[in-house]
Each structure stands twice: as structure tokens, then as C-alpha cells.
Amino acid sequence: MHETRLRRIREKMDELGLDALLVTKEVNSLYLCGFGEDSRLLVTGSDAVLITDSRYTEEAEAKVRGATVHTFKSDMLEELAVLLGERGVKTLGFEARSVTVAALGEMEKKLSGTALKPTDGLVEELRIVKDAAEVERMREAIAVADAALADALPYLTPGVTEADMAAELRYRLFKRGASEVSFPPIIGFGPTSSLPHAKPGSRRLGENDNVQFDWGAVVNHYCSDCSRVFFVGEPDEEILRIHEIVSEADRRAREGVRPGVSLKEIDALARSFIEREGYGQYFGHGLGHGVGLEVHEAPRVSPKSADTAREGMVFTIEAGIYLPGKGGVRVEDMVLVTADGCEVLTRFPYDTTPNKAFKE
């Protein structure tokens, strides 16, 4: 697996005339060789070297595939210069989006005998299409997230605070086997739900509130991402209505997913329906984003997206309507692009009654 990924990145290096590529983004190193924490991966035409320090040597040697492990003693860049010289590297590509101006200045001083060439998205482009093992890891993350929310929902009763629910959900995620949360859980009660990235606070659940959950788990480095809405008592009629609109918009978008369709068109399927229903001005974000080693990665599903759906892509579909001061609704699923359409990976029930959903 990792050998195949390294071969593909070498093909891209050849196209750009690079003798080597320095991978500095941790998840890209993880993708290519199986380890990335606080390390750098040097890929040349003939070998790959993970450069790390003594804190990670033992772990890296156990996990790295397709590369050797080099533990630097004092100055990483000085030792990198030696490695480059030994391999006759004249042109070194670097990941422009993960190298700061200050770090680039240091590289220019200490790697003065090597031409430095910025690159953008070389590894990310490979990561856009998932293989079967990656999809299986995301299924595992989804299962953990689903079970955790089901465990937490019995605590969703009038009087509980958003912060209490967030703490309960985080606890249940770890209890069910998550190594980390994909992102801090987004939980909004009533008016707070109009904030797309609501931070759980001291607001208590009312007798007739709507509740917005957006949560995810990380399992074996891969993320999940899902949003669901629940109603307590008899919520506002307009909130119920926009839930129906958002759900239908998502359904229309899912039905339009298939290889060869532009992601801009998929966004438009949901957005145009919401606009016809009179709520276009309240749907301000893109319809979705890729999910994998990062919870937000390429591709983007938005009006400005230049991407086209390809078999093996995994991205979210998450239309939303947010009414300031009143409340909002977002329903989100992860989908896998298949040969003739898409598979919805997220499985949590759409039932909006908490005591029914957690019994599914």
C-alpha cells in the first residue's frame, strides 16, 4: 500500500522535475509511509527517509513502511543537507502550505547548495480518492461515532446544558474506542443552533427546543463527520419546516452524485431547491467537503468547486439553513462515490425524536 503511494508521488515528482520532495505536513507523511508525528519525510527517486528525533524513533521504526528511519542528533536541517548531498539532490520540492516564511528562510540558509521549489497539493491530490482500506477505517470511525451518540442521547432532557451534553458525548466517543474526536462536538439548543459552528455553552435545553448535533470520531487515524437534528416537545413550526427543506435538499444532492458530475453541480442541486423555498440567503456555506485523514480535506463541494466526482471519493453533503436569533438546521452525511452513484456511509437514524433514535 505505502509502496504504491510512494511510487505515485515519485511520478508526480518526475513531472515537476524534482530530484526529491520534503514532506512536512504530518498527515501527508502518515499517508505515504505510515508515520508522521513531529517528523519530516524525504522522498527521492530511489528511496525515502523519515527524519525524526529520539522521542519517536522506536514508534517510527515499528510503524514506517517503504522508508528508513533517520534520527537526527542536533540540527535537523543540517543533517538533511547531508542526506541530500549523499543522494545528489539538486532540486528539492517542499510543501508550500505547511512551511512558514521563517522556516523557508532557515531552509534557504542551511540547504544553500540545493534549489528549493514550492509545490502545492501533490500528496493531497493522491488522498482525494480513497482505497478500500481507507473506506473501511472510516466505516469503523462512523460506527464508533454512532454508538457514542446513541449512548449519550438518554441524557438529552430538559435542563441539561449544551456543555454537559458535549462532555457526555466526548466521554462516550472515547469509551467506544475513538483515539480522538474529529473536532470538538458542535451542539446548539434552540437559538444557539443558528450558529453553524456553535460552541457548547451554559444554555439549558428548553421544553420545546430543537437540538443540533455535529460530531465525529477518529479511529485508526481516519475521521467521521455527521450532523443530526432532534426536537424536544413542540418546537417552532418554521424550524420544523426548514428541517424538511434541508432534508429534501440533501436527498436531491445525493441522488445527483455519480462519477463525472462536477461538484459544483451537486452543490447546485441542493442550493437551488433551498432558494426556491425562499431560504437561499440563509444557506451561506458550501454543501460539503472531503473526509479522510483530516475531517476537512479535498475535495470541496461548493459553488466555486473545480472538482469532478470520481469513484472512491468520500465527501459530506450537508445543507443548512440558519435563522439568526431563532435557530438553525443542518443534516449531514458522508457519501462514497461508487461506479454508478453513491453510498451513504453514515448510518445514524434520521428520526428527530431522541428516545427513538437512540433505540435504533
Calculate mean pLDDT across residues 32-57.
97
Sign of CA dihedral 268, 270, 276, 281: negative
As a whole number, the mean pLDDT across the chain is 96
Do 254 and 287 meet the contact criterion of CB atoms below 8 Å apart?
A: no
- How many residues does the structure list for the chain? 360
- Joined grid coordinates for residue 255: 441522488
Do 133 and 1 meet the contact criterion of CB atoms below 8 Å apart?
A: yes
Specify the pLDDT at position 352.
Answer: 85
For the whole model, what pTM was predicted? 0.94
The pLDDT tens digits for 75-126 are 999 999 999 999 999 999 999 999 999 999 999 999 998 999 999 999 999 9
Calculate mean pLDDT across residues 51-56.
97
Amino acid at 44: T
The pLDDT tens digits for 234-263 are 889 999 999 999 999 999 999 999 999 999
Q: Which fold has domain 132-357?
A: Creatine Amidinohydrolase (3.90.230)
Burial state string for 324-355 with b = 16 or more CB within 10 A and e = fewer than 16:
eeebbbbbbbbbbbeeeebeebbebeeebebe
Specify the pLDDT at position 267.
Answer: 98
Listed in sequence order, the residues at least 6 apart from 281 whose beta carbon sits closer than 8 Å to its beta carbon are none
Specify the pLDDT at position 358.
Answer: 47
Specify the pLDDT at position 40.
Answer: 97
CATH no., domain 2-127: 3.40.350.10
The pLDDT tens digits for 269-315 are 999 999 999 999 999 999 999 999 999 999 999 999 999 999 999 99
The pLDDT tens digits for 206-237 are 999 999 999 999 999 999 999 999 999 988 99
Residue 265 has pLDDT above 80, yes or no: yes
Specify the pLDDT at position 355.
Answer: 60
The pLDDT tens digits for 147-183 are 999 999 999 999 999 999 999 999 999 999 999 999 9
Q: Where are the domains of the chain?
A: 2-127, 132-357
Specify the pLDDT at position 235.
Answer: 85
Residue 340 has pLDDT above 80, yes or no: yes
Calculate mean pLDDT across residues 9-26.
98
Specify the pLDDT at position 44.
Answer: 98
**Residue 278, class by beta-carbon neighbours within 10 Å (0-12 exposed, 13-18 middle, 19+ buried)?**
exposed
pLDDT band for 140, please (50, 70, 90 cuts).
very high
pLDDT band for 356, please (50, 70, 90 cuts).
low
Q: Which of 32, 182, 250 is nearest to 122 (CA)?
A: 32
Specify the pLDDT at position 270.
Answer: 98
Specify the pLDDT at position 360.
Answer: 46
